[in-house]
Amino acid sequence: MRVAHISDIHLGYRAYSRTNERGMNQREADVLRAFRSALRAILDAEPDLILITGDLFHTVRPPNSSLITAYKYLMELQAQRRGAPLVIIAGNHETPRIAESSCILALLTHIPGIQVVFDQITQLELSALSASLLCIPARGVNELEQRILEPNPNARWNLMLLHGLLEGITPFALERPIDRQKIVREEWDYIALGDWHLYTQVAPNALYAGATEFTSTNIWEESGRAKGWVLYDATTRAHEFHPVPTRKVYDLTPIDAAELSVAELNDAIEARANAVEDFDGAIVRQRVYNLLPELRSQLDGELLRELKMRALHYHFDPRPPRVGVRSGQSPSSERDEGEPRLTLVDEWRMFAQSYPLPAEIDREAFIALGTRYLVGGEA
Ligand SMILES: [Mn+2]
């Protein structure tokens, strides 16, 4: 059985003020484009089953523009697939806080072949595939502790779908991480995970497909990472990650303004931007550390205006110097408003970006692992 797994699409996500030629927020249009591109590739791959593991919609009440378009895409997809099974679980973003209010995903159950789980943990039986699907939507995560999760012995295939963060998956500490031992077990033919926006293999049979566009609260940490969907073969437990085209996101190397003249600082800002080949239309952040207000006011306004015009979004992010803080001093004094020149994680990422690695080592995974060690060590 071949499974297409897609997650965290966040239809209806909007950001920045730019609109497209039809007046739609450009980022909302980007998210729809990524979704359509993924669905086309999934259709071509002819999977037996499609799984969407939560956050199909960015909000409980998505804008009509995204809702109508998404409905049309899914109708067309299911018509072409002749109603072959497609299962959606709800993520935290589309789940209403009040249990009685219905979930927007219920609308999609009217499309042939689509089944939706948005409330409690639910076992779905897909008899045509002899597959049993244990579905754990965002709201179901609260039930996990009281539940014993067991495959159906009568089904040929047992799959689990979960929207939530497993312990150890994020570089930051979680309030209530999900017990890995409880979820990641050999007896499941596939464990399809959602909520974490980066494609991540947890085990050969357990994967986060990641998001299809840059829609999380910290897109800068995700810059340079591919977005896409997963094609998984339940027989061999092998999978392929299929990237989709997205808006480009660049977190430029920070500039330390401490010892720069105005001219040097302007040059550095321009040089960093020009080093990005496809700067036009991209989402870009430029941090400048130790920038004194008097220097800031002398910055080349025309240069900054031009960069803001060319990029979809140019986030110029100046940080004033940290004043009078030495090690051992309380960091709570009101003069301590600034940031350190670079955080340890910044230094690590800059170092690891260009560090020579053996070909078999994945650079992004290497950087992420180092980041995890650093952040974990501080906690
Ligand atoms: Mn999400």
Distance in Å, CA 59 to ligand 1 centroid: 10
The reported pLDDT for the residue numbered 333 is 41
Distance in Å, CA 197 to ligand 1 centroid: 6
Other C-beta atoms closer than 10 Å to the C-beta of 82 total 8
Q: Structural domain of residue 363, as residue ranges?
A: 343-379
74 and 215 in a single domain? The answer is: yes
How does pLDDT run across 104-126, given as a tens digit for each residue?
Answer: 999 999 999 999 999 999 999 99
Distance in Å, CA 170 to ligand 1 centroid: 13
234 and 150 in a single domain? The answer is: yes
The reported pLDDT for the residue numbered 84 is 98
- Give the global pTM: 0.85
296 and 193 in a single domain? The answer is: no
Furthest CA-CA distance within the chain: 73
- What tokens appear for 152 in the block? 């159906």
Distance in Å, CA 324 to ligand 1 centroid: 40
The reported pLDDT for the residue numbered 109 is 96
Distance in Å, CA 333 to ligand 1 centroid: 37
How does pLDDT run across 213-227, given as a tens digit for each residue?
Answer: 999 988 999 998 999
352 and 225 in a single domain? The answer is: no
229 and 263 in a single domain? The answer is: no
3-class SS of residue 193: strand
Instruction: Read off the CATH number of the domain in which 164 is found.
Output: 3.60.21.10
268 and 211 in a single domain? The answer is: no
Q: How far apart are CA 92 and CA 118, in angstroms?
A: 10
Distance in Å, CA 53 to ligand 1 centroid: 9
* Residue partners of 21: CB distance under 8 A and separation at least 6: none
Distance in Å, CA 26 to ligand 1 centroid: 19
Distance in Å, CA 221 to ligand 1 centroid: 15
Distance in Å, CA 14 to ligand 1 centroid: 14
Contact present, 32 and 69 (Cβ < 8 Å): yes
70 and 159 in a single domain? The answer is: yes
- Tally of structural domains, the chain: 3
The reported pLDDT for the residue numbered 171 is 79
Contact present, 106 and 118 (Cβ < 8 Å): yes
The reported pLDDT for the residue numbered 149 is 94
Distance in Å, CA 331 to ligand 1 centroid: 34
190 and 331 in a single domain? The answer is: no
Contact present, 18 and 26 (Cβ < 8 Å): yes
68 to 36, 72, 341: CA distances (angstroms)? 13, 6, 47
How does pLDDT run across 338-374, given as a tens digit for each residue?
Answer: 455 567 777 787 778 767 787 778 877 888 888 878 8
The reported pLDDT for the residue numbered 324 is 54
Q: Is 325 exposed, middle or buried (0-12, 13-18, 19+ CB in 10 A)?
A: middle
Distance in Å, CA 37 to ligand 1 centroid: 19
293 and 332 in a single domain? The answer is: yes
144 and 256 in a single domain? The answer is: no
Q: Tokens 């001093």 correspond to what residue?
A: 329
Residues of the chain with pLDDT under 50: 325-338, 377-379
Q: How far is CA 144 from the centre of its chain?
A: 24
Among 243, 261, 276, give the residue marking a domain's end: 243
Distance in Å, CA 74 to ligand 1 centroid: 19
Distance in Å, CA 94 to ligand 1 centroid: 10
160 and 203 in a single domain? The answer is: yes
Among 221, 243, 265, give the residue marking a domain's end: 243
284 and 311 in a single domain? The answer is: yes
The reported pLDDT for the residue numbered 176 is 82
